[in-house]
């Protein structure tokens, strides 16, 4: 049912400001940008390996994205799965009596899209998309999406729900109250909410750098606020538009 993580959506104040970090500093290639009137957003997709990063600038403060920005500020908004046939996927979810925000597909930046209600996905807003154009794999990028971290009060329940709804496979881990679900070359990591400040839902992004020294040089030139480790770096949310972003060389 699911081929890969198509993209991770991030709400930002201004697209131009977000470009300075995600496009210019990280080097992610801009794949597509458009204004989507019915969603009241200006949006852009940037390549990140087989996946993409979607930046969303609200054009109307009363829209869903506008209210999200006013309530929570910039940061992670939704997870989008690539499915080969969105109509069949929606039909399957309806048969399971899953609560949907879109009963039928509509046109979005990623292709034909539909959203599943966060209540059905343990607090995570999940988008489904059947792309209508070239994939991110056609745009080489210096970083690729490694995993998306989700906080949950009940890790096992959240993992089982995601596996049941979207046919994801669980990856064996070295014990502990965590669950890793494979999605294409990427993964979704479900962790206890108490480990991430009590947050339930989308928590952080983890990416892999093709040229780690070049990335560190880019951060230095841009004055990006980071915490450095051995072969890894954590970008402060103040520099990454509200996103907890971890980047490693492995």
- Domains in the chain: boundaries: 4-138, 143-248
pLDDT at 139 over 90: no
Q: What's this model's pTM, rounded to 2 decimal places?
A: 0.96
For the domain spanning 4-138, the CATH number is: 3.10.180.10
Condensed to tens digits (0 to 9), the pLDDT of residues 78-98 reads 999 999 999 999 999 999 999
Condensed to tens digits (0 to 9), the pLDDT of residues 206-245 reads 999 999 999 999 999 999 999 999 899 999 999 999 999 9
**Is the CATH code 3.10.180.10 the one for domain 143-248?**
yes
Instruction: Centre a 10 Å sphere on the Cβ of residue 138 and count the other Cβ atoms it contains.
Output: 10
pLDDT at 74: 98
pLDDT band, residue 134 (cuts 50/70/90): low
pLDDT band, residue 132 (cuts 50/70/90): confident
Can 4-138 and 143-248 be said to share one CATH topology?
yes
Collect all residues with Cβ–Cβ distance below 8 Å to 39 and sequence separation of at least 6: 63, 64, 65, 108
Collect all residues with Cβ–Cβ distance below 8 Å to 115 and sequence separation of at least 6: 78, 100, 101, 102, 125, 126, 127, 128
Give the mean pLDDT of the chain: 94
């Amino acid at each position: 049912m699911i081929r890969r993580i198509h993209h991770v959506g991030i709400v930002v104040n201004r697209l131009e400001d977000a470009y300075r970090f995600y496009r210019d500093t990280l080097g992610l290639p801009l794949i597509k940008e458009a204004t989507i009137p019915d969603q009241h957003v200006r949006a852009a997709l940037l390549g990140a390996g087989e996946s993409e990063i979607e930046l969303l600038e609200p054009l109307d403060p009363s829209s869903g994205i506008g209210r999200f920005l006013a309530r929570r500020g910039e940061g992670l908004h939704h997870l989008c799965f690539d499915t080969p046939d969105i109509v069949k996927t929606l039909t399957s979810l309806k048969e399971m009596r899953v609560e949907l925000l879109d009963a039928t597909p509509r046109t979005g930046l990623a292709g034909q899209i539909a959203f599943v209600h966060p209540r059905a996905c343990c607090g995570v807003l999940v988008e489904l998309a059947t792309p209508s154009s070239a994939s991110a794999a056609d745009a080489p990028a210096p970083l690729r999406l490694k995993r998306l971290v989700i906080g949950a009060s009940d890790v096992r329940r959240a993992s089982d729900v995601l596996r049941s709804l979207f046919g994801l496979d669980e990856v064996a881990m070295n014990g502990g109250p965590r669950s890793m679900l494979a999605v294409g070359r990427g993964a979704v990591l479900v962790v206890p909410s108490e480990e991430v400040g009590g947050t339930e839902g989308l928590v952080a992004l983890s990416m892999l750098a093709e040229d780690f020294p070049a990335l560190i040089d880019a951060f230095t030139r841009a004055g990006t606020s980071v915490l450095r480790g051995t072969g890894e770096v954590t970008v402060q949310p103040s520099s990454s538009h509200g996103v907890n972003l971890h980047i490693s060389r492995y």
